[in-house]
Structure 1
Amino acid sequence: VADPETGAVIASGFSRSRFEDILEENGLFTAIFSTIDTAVAKAREQGYEKEHIKAVLLVGGSSLIPSVRKTVRQIFGDKVKYHRPLDAVAVGAAAFVSGVDFYDHIQHEYALRFFNRQKNDYDFITLVRAATPYPAENVKELTIKASHDGQAALGLEIYEIGRNHAANTGVLDLVFDQNGGAVFRAKEDDEISSRFWINEKSPTFIKAEPPAKKGEPRFPVRFSIDGNKRLCITVTDNASGKQLFRNFPLIRLT
């Protein structure tokens, strides 16, 4: 190390054992265990257990230290990999910027809000759970009903769970009955959603021709996820027997 003021070179020799003692005295190995425990816990929250981990790639200059490698191997065994530790992060960043998707599953949960008559309060019915692999067929099925006679337009309000959203979410609420039927009802002015409404700009997209009758189980819908992580919907009109939409993409999931 060069002294910035004098330019003199300062050097000192350490044996491997002494160097490892210094690392231990400064809490490096404790920090490694703690960091890994935190990462494993977060993975478990997303539906992945420790035994689901297929490989652990060590990156950065510190991963070249034998005692660091040994510490990680104590936890993950032969799953630990050391491929290109000095430039792996840069290569991964370049791939991410170019649009490569690193996840083979959906990271967040998505749901429809409904009014739970038993609780007399709002609740959510899950469409897609976090950690759901994609593509996936028939992730959810339900039936949309009209909320009043002569209703000509129906739709769905889709929310991403876990994001706060303080803005007003519109004048209609999607209400489900105990059999999975969905209807819209007027929303009170002071009702504010605590979730993020994904398709706020286009919630109504199903046209009823002829107009639907109140409570009529008019539109069976089926949800799926395509290979591009898009939530798709298939809609059939029970009145005409026609399929209005087939795997129509509604939103892109993350």
Structure 2
Amino acid sequence: MSAIAIDFGSSNTLIGQWNEVTQSPEILTLDAISTPHTSLIPSVLYFRDAAPDSANSGILRLAVGNQVIAGGYSPSDRRYFAQIKRSLLVDNTPEYVINGLPVNAQLAGKLFLRQIFKQLRSQNIEVTDLIFTAPVQAYERYLRWLESCSPDLMDDLTSGSDFAGDIRIIDEPTAAALGYALTEPNSLILVIDFGGGTLDICLVRTPKAKNLNTWGETIGDRYQLIINESEDDPNSESSWKDQSKDQQVEVIAKTGQSLGGADIDAWLLADFMSHHNSIQPKTQLNPEATAILLNLMERIKVALSTQDTATEVFYDAQTVQAFDICYSRSQLEKILHSKGFYQVLQNAIDEVINRAVAKGILKIDLKHIVLVGGSSLIPSVQTLIRNAFPRAKVYGDRPFEAVIYGALRLNQGLGIRDHLFHDYAIRYLPNSCKDNNNAEWQYQPLFLKGQAYPTKYPFELILRASQPDQSHIDLVIGELEKRTSTSVEVIFQGDLLVSEVNNKVITNFVPLNGIDAETPQLVIPLQPLGQIGNDRLRLIFQINERRQLIVTVIDLETNIELFTDQAIAELH
């Protein structure tokens, strides 16, 4: 019996468990799907042929992880799914019909995790608690996806019986900070998590308690995808309120970008094609050749982390020619510079530092920098970070294991005093624009990134009717993101997932209902009907201990409290 942590990565996935005998975390190897001689599970899935069952539906035969690599399946085949996690973080992912079944990244990701859970069960690993790690970027969307997967995952884990443990979430940068076992009380730690698909940066402060044994006495992060006890269980609620802040990790500032090693592979491929006219243009390159080239570029990128030059050979079956692909480390760095790679990294660091300064923490106060993720192994990335923090000690010897180790420490009771890492707002149309079909939405901020919860003071808002005889007012609340510096947008070009670097200001509003962007979180009835020009509703917003946005609504005309502490959305 043990707690299990899962770090589902864009390129590789890692599984860990808490060893009750040694009282320490350890990495699990799932022999059937892990890469030989390592514990890394390639985050890839391949759909084999389906066989009809008695109900005339398809029984999916799947290959996952190293089964896909060892099977020699072509990445150009549409049955082959890679970079699944990264695809989960973008809008409008492509959907393919495989053996009559519509398949997208959401389904592929769920099936990938289900195969992992079946492997855990086949190795007779009894899971008492389950911890998922999640990226800072598009955190809300990722959690909604996990939430939709959880019933099937639990069936695979328990053979259909009820799962009695907790299912918890911790963001990847915070887990990494805990995973390096930096146990000096009240220390500031900057975590830079740079993987295959995302860049997440997080500044945390370790607990103030000098007795490290007391760190384990507080309850861990109680956000649960499945809550087995009642939502109004007084013990569950009071356990949050009674936590000692001296025993909790404090998350000070976070940010994230959809940028990673996969982008570097694509940039290297584009550069290679631009200098080899004898090979057909990339837009005409067949999918199989593109997949082979991307794999070669990844190998070159990895090799350049430890050597000055790297060479691979590409055989073009259409022209019956072989081409040497040679790159030096300096050439790679020139490409990264031209694509704005270093600027995105620097801007993300600056964003976190600026938020820390706003809370009275100076850059010079940072003494510990933690690096995780495969892209953190790039020498020029390490150089940029070391130059940015010349007085800090940089830790980078656990680029893959740190997140798992930290997630498992959370399960042992290391509490987290967290802050929001998105801005949240209400969407509305100004009265002057009601009849204008081209009017743009406006947004009234509620709580901003960095807000600690539970909130000490409420946010109050007065609403008026926008038209005569108005019967109700709808509240549509969502994440609000405005980027005024370099940002990265992940898009599909054909079948390729690529990143584009933008320097313009972009406002992005993502409603929190998770199903229909036009469905309000709360519909407030007006009785009698509302009229233009009169203050009608008083809204009092707060964030409770469970990260829920709650609202009390008072009708100013009737002086009736229509809603009291109504939970309307989960915040993150």
Q: Structure 1 length normalisation: TM-score?
A: 0.55
Distance apart, 1:81 and its partner CA:
8.8
Question: Which residues in structure 2 correspond to 1:91-102 (within 5 Å)?
Answer: 91-94=405-408
Q: Could you say which residue in structure 2 is the equivalent of 1:40?
A: 349
Distance apart, 1:221 and its partner CA:
0.7
Looking at structure 2, the residues matched to 158 and 250 of structure 1 have their Cα atoms a distance apart, in angstroms, of 9
Looking at structure 2, the residues matched to 236 and 219 of structure 1 have their Cα atoms a distance apart, in angstroms, of 6
Work out which of the residue numbers 470, 476, 489 in structure 2 matches 1:151: 470
Larger radius of gyration: 1
Q: Any idea what the Cα deviations from partners look like across 1:114-149, whole Å, max 9, x if unmatched?
A: 335789753322111111222214453221222334
Q: 1:243 to 1:100 in 2, by over 3 A?
A: farther
Work out which of the residue numbers 512, 516, 522 in structure 2 matches 1:198: 512
Distance apart, 1:76 and its partner CA:
6.7
Looking at structure 2, the residues matched to 132 and 99 of structure 1 have their Cα atoms a distance apart, in angstroms, of 23
Q: Could you say which residue in structure 1 is the equivalent of 2:362?
A: 51
Question: Which residues in structure 2 correspond to 1:1-16 (within 5 Å)?
Answer: none
Moved more, 141-150 or 244-253: 141-150
Looking at structure 1, the residues matched to 533 and 417 of structure 2 have their Cα atoms a distance apart, in angstroms, of 41
Q: Any idea what the Cα deviations from partners look like across 1:69-103, whole Å, max 9, x if unmatched?
A: xx9699375x7597x96964332133578998856
Q: 1:252 to 1:242 in 2, by over 3 A?
A: same
Q: 1:73 to 1:103 in 2, by over 3 A?
A: farther
Gaps of 5+ in 1: 1-22, 28-33, 63-67, 165-192
Work out which of the residue numbers 382, 407, 418 in structure 2 matches 1:104: 418
Q: 1:55 to 1:219 in 2, by over 3 A?
A: farther
Q: Could you say which residue in structure 2 is the equivalent of 1:227?
A: 545
Q: Any idea what the Cα deviations from partners look like across 1:21-67, whole Å, max 9, x if unmatched?
A: xx99969xxxxxx798565324136x22362766626478x9xxxxx
Looking at structure 1, the residues matched to 508 and 346 of structure 2 have their Cα atoms a distance apart, in angstroms, of 30
In the alignment of these two chains, the number of paired residues is 193
Q: Structure 2 length normalisation: TM-score?
A: 0.27
The one-letter amino acid paired with 2:554 is T
Distance apart, 1:108 and its partner CA:
0.8
Work out which of the residue numbers 237, 241, 252 in structure 1 matches 2:559: 241
Q: Could you say which residue in structure 2 is the equivalent of 1:132?
A: 451
Query: Does the Cα contact within 8 Å between 1:111 and 1:124 map onto a contact in 2?
Result: yes
Query: Does the Cα contact within 8 Å between 1:59 and 1:89 map onto a contact in 2?
Result: no
Query: Does the Cα contact within 8 Å between 1:145 and 1:214 map onto a contact in 2?
Result: yes
Q: 1:155 to 1:216 in 2, by over 3 A?
A: same
Work out which of the residue numbers 429, 442, 453 in structure 2 matches 1:123: 442
The one-letter amino acid paired with 2:480 is I
Moved more, 227-236 or 139-148: 139-148
Query: Aligned to 1:125, what secondary structure does the other structure show?
Result: strand
Distance apart, 1:109 and its partner CA:
1.0
Query: Does the Cα contact within 8 Å between 1:115 and 1:121 map onto a contact in 2?
Result: yes
Q: 1:145 to 1:117 in 2, by over 3 A?
A: closer
The one-letter amino acid paired with 1:130 is K
Query: Does the Cα contact within 8 Å between 1:110 and 1:158 map onto a contact in 2?
Result: yes
Structure with the bigger percentage of helix: 2
Q: 1:252 to 1:72 in 2, by over 3 A?
A: same
Gaps of 5+ in 2: 1-304, 309-328, 330-341, 377-381, 434-438, 483-488, 490-506
**% identical aligned pairs:** 21
Looking at structure 1, the residues matched to 307 and 508 of structure 2 have their Cα atoms a distance apart, in angstroms, of 46
Looking at structure 1, the residues matched to 509 and 406 of structure 2 have their Cα atoms a distance apart, in angstroms, of 32
Query: Does the Cα contact within 8 Å between 2:371 and 2:394 map onto a contact in 1?
Result: no
Note if 1:209 corresponds to 2:520.
Answer: no
Distance apart, 1:232 and its partner CA:
1.5
Query: Aligned to 1:215, what secondary structure does the other structure show?
Result: coil
What is the root-mean-square deviation of aligned Cα atoms in Å?
Answer: 4.7
Note if 1:90 corresponds to 2:401.
Answer: no
